[in-house]
Amino acid sequence: MDADELTRSVWDISEDEFPIGAPLGEQARFLLRYAILAPSSHNSQPWRFEIRDEAIEISYDETRWLEVADQDKRELFISIGCVLENLCIAAEHFEIGYEITHHADEDADLVSTVTLEPDGEPSSSRPPELFDELTERYTSHQLFEDQALPRETIERFRRVIKEDDVTLHLIDEPEQKRSIGELQAEADEAQMADPAYRKELGYWVGTGALGSSWLMARIRQAVVSHFDLGDREGRKNSKLIERAPVIALLATHADTPRHESRPVRSSNDSPFSRVLKTSASIQ
């Protein structure tokens, strides 16, 4: 099986395959097929799972931590939060109740435990249509069409945030988008000027994590690792931001590791992932 076939097989899931009446561990493994479709930085997928009876333990995999690009593990925990969100959406779809325990020890790999409760009341905190988006969501690096979003669509985004200490800013004013695009360009140039960052990025590009064939992944690894493409990447990403009809920014009310991870770790679902899936559901 080549890389393309393997990728398609991972995403080709039918809900009809859910093992009704099977042991809880088998049902948990099926739910994890939806969980691993979550987005992650560089598609590094920095998570590990352990199924213990009715509990699914979610830990981070330090071998997949981006030590240069993500020194404080902020993006790592965002990725873990997206996996947790996918898992909860799938459990709710199949009417399996659950309880989430978040582990506060910052020095431990274990992040969260999801205890499945098949006889408990299923949670209904998420719109049911989000389940269909688990297998439809994808990351696009194409320019958006030059048209504004309807006001009702913008209000739909605002309604997905339920936390008191997480704020969603929706920016559609052209001058503000231009300023953000300029900041993005500066950030790209600063990162790509760092040989250690380029080496780390090149490694993940070379593994095919970004969807390239084996040959193209190797070619791109060599280019990314040895050439400073910051100016080109900065211009490209700045243009993407300026052409977007709306820029969504998630912010927390304090700048500490605990609050930085709030959008993905401290509630039963992830505001970040909810925003992504709401985007995917818009026609």
pLDDT tens digits for range 174-192: 999 999 999 999 998 998 8
Higher per-residue pLDDT: 192 or 275: 192
| β partners of residue 170 | 248
> 132 versus 228: which is more confidently predicted?
132
Mean pLDDT of 29-40: 95
Helix, strand, or coil (residue 171)? strand
Among 3.40.640.10, 3.30.160.70, 3.40.109.10, 3.90.550.10, name the CATH number for the domain at 3-139.
Answer: 3.40.109.10
Which of 106, 99, 155 is closest to 122 using CA atoms?
99
Give 225-243 pLDDT, tens digit per residue.
666 677 777 788 889 999 9
Per-residue pLDDT averaged across 34-46, rounded?
92
Q: Distance between the two ends of the chain, CA-based, in angstroms? A: 34
For the chain, the structural domain boundaries read 3-139, 151-252
In sequence order, what are the residues at sequence separation of 6 or more whose Cβ sits closer than 8 angstroms to the Cβ of residue 170? 154, 157, 158, 246, 247, 248, 249
| Prediction pTM value | 0.81
Give the whole-angstrom CA distance, residue 171 versus residue 165.
Answer: 19
Q: What are phi and psi of 168, to 5 degrees?
A: -105, 120
State yes or no: pLDDT of 99 exceeds 70: yes
